[in-house]
Amino acid sequence: MQSFGDSMVRRWKYLLLVIFLSACSSTERSADPLTYTMMPLSFEEIRMWDEFNPEGLNTMIQTNTDIWIEEHQGKQSLNYLALSGGGFNGAFSAGILTAWTEQGDRPTFDIVTGISTGAIVSVFAFLGSEYDDVLTELYTETDFNDLFSYRNIFSLVRHQSILDTSPFEKKVRQIVNDDLVTEIANQSRSGRNLIIGTTNIDNQRLALWNISRIAEHGTPQATALIQELIIASSSIPGAFPARKILFELGGQQFDELHVDGGVVRQVFFAPSWVDLRDVGVEQNLYVIRNGSLKSEFQPVSHRLSHISERAISTLMLNQGIGDVEHIYHNARQQGMKFNLAYIDEDFQPPQEASPYSDEFMTGLFEYSYEKMLEREAWQSLPPSLPEYYQVAD
């Protein structure tokens, strides 16, 4: 029988080998803090930061916002959709949107935002219900093994990730092609906005990318940048490789490293400094949290791996709770009607189904689909806040 000591020695040797091999791989960078003020491909006004924008950028963005508000004064209402991260739990938002179409009262969203898996869903939510079939296929007929595989230890010499994500990247590039980007551009010209978030791991900030504005450039480079940003927004650090976003200034090339936007926020709508109070029409904000917003009791084995896993999930749960509360308070300040959907305690996953399986995702899709048809999906208050926070409309 293998002793505990032998097992631990073997594990430590494996861990040290992983660290050594990853340290040997190429990590050459041309990073510079100046890229904080720059735009890829020299496109103008295609990104902002969640907080602390470069001098003058806040004013420019608010000026553009004021113009956007003026252009939308004649509308009966404005509808916004914010989609959270959550990995394969994105099936929850796919079910909500598909059932919403069937109900017949799904609005055309004026602004759609997305993080991580929400960045993927956001593209199709933005383009409308004709893409419901694509969403359904992605989140009910695709599982982990279709998109990812574990790397062997020696491949870490060349790669900085546990997973080989090339099938996932190929899938994104196949779906988000030139034709689809042209459709995004057409919708953008009508005054609608699609924004996704990535984490700049160099400066530790959330970058908010105006995908619709990028699409309007209509070049192969614009399509490639959109693809790269969607992949970056889903790139869980360590599991996925970080993505290099390239910049050029004065003939010199720089780069930034971007990873999953969920590192900073699980869900976002708009920076708190963007003022939408003077819109003058009804504003409806819909937030879909592809995850739980309630803690649950679960006995944890007194083992390092189990405790670490539970700690990370607890961190993400509470980050998500805080992000939703932040959006709620900002929405109320801006005079918006707040609507929230999340995976509640009544969801019963298929027995023994892996959370990365198509069986699990189909069950989650059907759960949200049915809740939406029964008109039980939306809540007007985050479950973490007491009832007295509720403001009467």
DSSP state of 368: H
Q: At what angle do helices 90-103 and 117-127 cross, to 10 degrees?
A: 20
Name 388's Cβ contacts closer than 8 Å, sequence gap at least 6: none
Report the alpha-carbon distance of residue 250 to residue 241 in Å, rounded: 29
Residue 208 exposure: Cα atoms within 13 Å on the Cβ side? 25
- Catalytic residue selected from 50, 110, 255, 260: 260
Name 47's Cβ contacts closer than 8 Å, sequence gap at least 6: 39, 207, 208, 209, 210
357 is catalytic: no
| Nearest to 110, CA basis, from 230, 286, 341, 271 | 286
Report the alpha-carbon distance of residue 225 to residue 212 in Å, rounded: 12
The angle at the Cα of 299, spanning 297 to 304, to the nearest 5 degrees, equals 125
202 is catalytic: no
- Catalytic residue selected from 84, 93, 116, 212: 116
Cα–Cα distances in Å, from 357 out to 147, 281, 312? 11, 43, 21
Catalytic residues: 116, 260
